[in-house]
Structure 1
Amino acid sequence: MAAQPRFHKQTTASAPPAERHPVDETLPPLKMFTSGLQHVAAMYAGVVAPPMIVGPAVGLSAKETAFLMGASLFTAGLATLLQTLGFWRIGAKLPFVNGVSFAGVTPMIAIGKGEGDNAIPVIFGAIIVAGLLGFFAAPYFGKLVRFFPPVVTGTVILLIGVSLLPVAFNWSQGGNAHAADHGSMRNIGMAALTLAIVLLMRRFLRGFLQQIAILLGLVAGTLIALPLGMTNFDAIRDADVVGFPTPFHFGAPQFQVAAIISMCIVMLVCMTESTADILALGRIVGRPADEKTIEGGLRADALGSALSPVFNGFMCSAFAQNIGLVAMTKVRSRFVVAAGGGILILLGLCPVAASVIALVPLPVLGGAGIVLFGSVAASGIQTLAAAAMEKGENALIVAASVGVGLIPIAAPDFYHAFPEDLLVVLDSGISTGCVVAILLNLAFNHVGSRRSREDAAASESVPEAVPAH
């Protein structure tokens, strides 16, 4: 009898501990910081570009525009922490980076015209309302996950990567189309050299150094660009050591119906793209996103957008380029991206530190971006490989969706005669391609005879491709 308690104790102690998913793993501090910094380096230009464009367009001075850029870094960090760490039913809890959405740039400029000193308060008021709308609409978007089988998600992931590549090409040319050296051999040569450095590091380095090849490539490219005069130190000289984005720095938000409607449309576009991004990231990290994950991710997007104007930031959404970084480095920990969010907050509070990252020349960033964005497209192709493409209907869905999604990239003026409100959606190849893929999947695989529905169910039950880790 006395042996029974000991036997019971022994079997209990020998039970294997539950294995932690790589998404929930914590890394050593140095690896956590450098990997997080790599995410910041990959997204930095995308965060500061919208305020850099919108500020002068609505009449802000250079100093006010710089303030807007710092505030955007700060709010991007807050939104990223909401996504990666989360609380309650908020946050996808995936290595998901959030930042200022490009989708809102054109509408915000349109809103700001004619408003004078009230331009920014009117824009911020519209973003707050749009963010609240997105927060309460998130559960309904979450229910759309069953309409995203591999044939749809693979198509959208492919379009995300292909749509981002022109950004990398523009960076490789120098970024500013009106600059005298735009597209010069020096700029493109620097981008090609950075690309070569990243590829060589990925080929010959091992372990942790291989994982941060993008960051090392950016550092190496910047050091090479220094003696060539391709770096600009003005940002460091003019930056303050400490700065805080004072709440409602530009005045209390103002609420105008037309502006609110415009930004609500942008919010819906961002939610559509974020849904696709969450699904893409879930496949890449080996934790497929379900309805609850999508709902939490969209809530974090929307809440981040609603809070962002309080600290003088713009609408936040997923940054697809960082999905490519996760796919390439195989570092799947959400806490790494949370560390990146913390770095973004510190950069927003320390303009001098933010200016150091701004030293990276755009051609250097463009060379690395080709690898990052191409990795996203490659993940889409890998997902399509498991989408029962032998079925003629699925091949047709991909063909039509990719064709429509490429229109804004291949022919930017294609929709020039359409109403400006529609351009918010039509100028986004990701959004149009996603909508077409969903509708065609419904038409061919869901609506119709019982046999077609059974075939669709069989195709959706095929194991989905997850990139090797």
Structure 2
Amino acid sequence: MMKTNNTNNVTAVFDEKLALPKLLPLGLQHLLTMVGSFMVPVIVGSAIGLDSKSLAYLVSAIFLTSGLAILIQVIGIGKGVGSKLPLVMGSSFITLGPMIVIGKQYGLPALFGSVIGSGIFILILSFFLNKILVFFPKVVTGSFITIMGITLAPVAFKDFADGEGSPNYGSSTNLLIGTIVLALVILLHKFCKGFLKTMSILIGVMVGTILSFVTGMINFSPVFEAKWLQVVSPFHFGMPEFNVSAIMTMSIFCLINLIQCVGAYSVLDEVCGTATSDKTAINGLRGQAVGQIISGIFNSVPHAYLNENIGVMSLSGVKSRFVPITTGCILIVLSFLPKFSAMITIIPACVRGGAMLAIFGMVISAGISILSKVNYSGNHNTLIVGTSIAVGVGSNFQPEVFKQMPWIVKILFENGMFSACLVAVLLNICLNFHTFSGAFFSQSRKNQLETEAS
């Protein structure tokens, strides 16, 4: 999947230093793109039956842990933890289902215990990732990233109409504001240069939010009800309980999350013209595991690399690692200021949806671009790509097919990203066995690249 070019050459692309007046709005732009991921703990808490005070606390917790996870990833801890690449970390939607099940069945202490336990499992696994990465050549990661964008697009489109379940779902006002945001992002990116092009998403979101305020769509009560100051403390909901069943369940979904994160390196390389080394990727996944353990300690959820933020990087043209570092610092500060944090959560869904359509479109195009570089001559890669994407689309849009399966099978296979990735990996092993076995048993990734090219 990834090349073994000199890491220094790769990281040098991201070393641009920017003045603080430019860093702050760029960091804020990434933060606004993350708003959807901030809803994951709220969805989990609501499903479990937590009160509004506890939900607000979970929002502050995700701000803190996301900020810490970003800093661990981008700055790193020593030489072996963190990729030191400009990757933004946010809540993982992949683990949403099992978190609700575990929370309902075992309670919050067991839920956060499973987050910590599965984080330890991923951390141990990171020392064996050299062999695991050979399961994900371009034909697999390209298919996975493409289906990821395809499955995320309907989420953005529902938000575009104000979010499924909203009494105003699909209203002309929502659609008009969402369209204005989307059009503004596209037009600024197409016709502007410099600052305006760089800030196209932030400007679009700001204009959309102002229009929403004028039309009376924004409810300020969460801001008024929130405290001015709050400290997120470890084990706020009690000491963690390490339930073996809960940890095993969470670990399975964290492995799927790991696959998504592996794919993010390909998206980043495609957008930035770099070639991330295996060592850098493994350090990054190790950093993710450390961040997840910290997340469980501070009453929060597993994190993932947010491909939409790589889309922001593509649209803005700014690749500096100091931008996500700024985002991480802003998040940590906001975790202490719940009233200001609440202001971000009141951005209307239609505004987010308009911006997300452009961003997820960039994810799809990155996947297609990766697939365009796959060799389709004299092998079965066409069948692998077509079948895996077809299964992924089918699973995502017809999940009731698996309704009679055991819940763990059901919740896995109705996820289009999991189905597509599993099919792509298995077909690649079976149909390209000679190539796969050569890479797997080789002692160097250079051999894999040579066999992929043959």
Q: Which runs of 5+ in 1 are unaligned?
A: 1-17, 463-469
Is the contact between residue 388 and residue 459 of structure 1 (CA under 8 Å) also seen in structure 2? no
Distance 1:186 1:349, change over 3 A: same
Partners of 1:178 and 1:19 in 2: how far apart?
Answer: 45
Displacement after TM superposition at 1:202 (Å): 1.4
Q: Within the alignment, does 1:107 sit opposite 2:95 as a pair?
A: no
1:436/1:446 Cα in 2 relative to 1: closer, same or farther (>3 Å)? same
What CA distance in whole angstroms lies between the structure 2 residues aligned with 1:279 and 1:215? 25
The change in CA–CA distance for 1:423 and 1:86 in structure 2 (over 3 A counts) is: farther
AA aligned opposite 2:398: A
Say whether residues 1:141 and 2:108 are aligned partners.
Answer: no
State the distance in 2 between where 1:219 and 1:43 align: 15
Distance 1:433 1:448 in 2: 20
Q: Aligned-pair distance for 1:390?
A: 4.6
Q: Corresponding residue for 2:141?
A: 153
Residues 63 and 50 (structure 1), Cα distance of their counterparts in 2 relative to 1, 3 Å cut: same
State TM-score, norm by structure 1: 0.88
Change (3 A) 1:408 1:325: farther
| CA distance 1:19–1:439, change in 2 (3 Å) | closer
| Larger CA Rg, structure 1 vs 2 | 1
187-196 or 18-27, which deviates more: 18-27
- Asked if 2 retains the 8 angstrom alpha-carbon contact of 1:327 and 1:376, the reply is no
Matches within 5 A, 1:194-343: 194-343=181-330
Secondary structure class of the residue paired with 1:209:
helix
1:457, distance to aligned residue in structure 2 (A):
6.0
Structure 2 residue 345 is matched with structure 1 residue 377: no
Amino acid at match of 2:12: H
Q: Distance in 2 between matches of 1:225 and 1:406?
A: 33
Asked whether 1:53 is paired with 2:43, we answer yes
Cα deviations by residue, 1:162-218 (Å, 9 ceiling, x for unpaired): 12111101211212x332112222212221111111112112221122011000100
Deviations 1:285-324 (A, max 9, x none): 2222222122111111111111112211111222222122
Q: Which runs of 5+ in 2 are unaligned?
A: 1-8, 441-446
Moved more, 414-423 or 67-76: 414-423
Alpha-carbon distance between aligned partners in 2 of 1:301 and 1:353, rounded to the nearest angstrom: 27
Give the aligned residue type for 1:60.
Answer: L
Distance 2:124 2:226 in 1: 39
In the alignment, structure 1 residue 75 sits paired with structure 2 residue 65: yes
Distance 2:436 2:223 in 1: 65
Q: How far is 1:123 from its partner?
A: 0.5
Distance in 2, matches of 1:291 and 1:445, equals 22
Pick closer, same or farther for the CA change 1:164–1:142 going to 2, 3 Å: farther
The answer to whether the Cα contact below 8 Å between 2:90 and 2:303 also exists between their aligned partners in 1 is yes
Over the matched positions of the two proteins, sequence identity in percent amounts to 35
Q: Please give the per-residue CA displacement for 1:90-128, whole angstroms capped at 9, x wherever unaligned.
A: 11211111112112222122122254xxx1111011111
Name the structure 1 match of 2:4: none
CA distance, structure 1, for counterparts of residue 97 and residue 11 of structure 2: 43
1:435 CA displacement:
2.4
Most deviating of 179-188 and 360-369 = 179-188
Alignment of 1:421-432 (within 5 A): 421-432=408-419
Once residues 75 and 450 of structure 1 are traced to their aligned partners in structure 2, the CA distance between those partners, rounded to angstroms, is 39
Contact in 2 for aligned 1:163/1:406 (Cα 8 Å)? yes
CA deviation map 1:447-467 (0-9, x unaligned): 38999x9x99667339xxxxx
Mapped pair 1:130 → 2:118: yes
**Counterparts of 1:450-465 in structure 2 under 5 Å?**
460-461=452-453
SS in 1 for 2:420: helix
Distance 1:185 1:449 in 2: 52
Report the CA distance between 1:380 and its aligned residue.
1.2
- TM-superposed CA distance for 1:75, in Å, is 0.5
Query: CA 1:125 to 1:191, structure 2 compared with 1: closer, same or farther past 3 Å?
Result: same
Aligned to 1:34: 25
> How far apart in 2 are the matches of 1:59 and 1:315?
20
2:218–2:346 Cα contact (<8 Å) kept: yes
Match of 1:22 among 10, 13, 29: 13
| AA in 2 matched with 1:99 | G
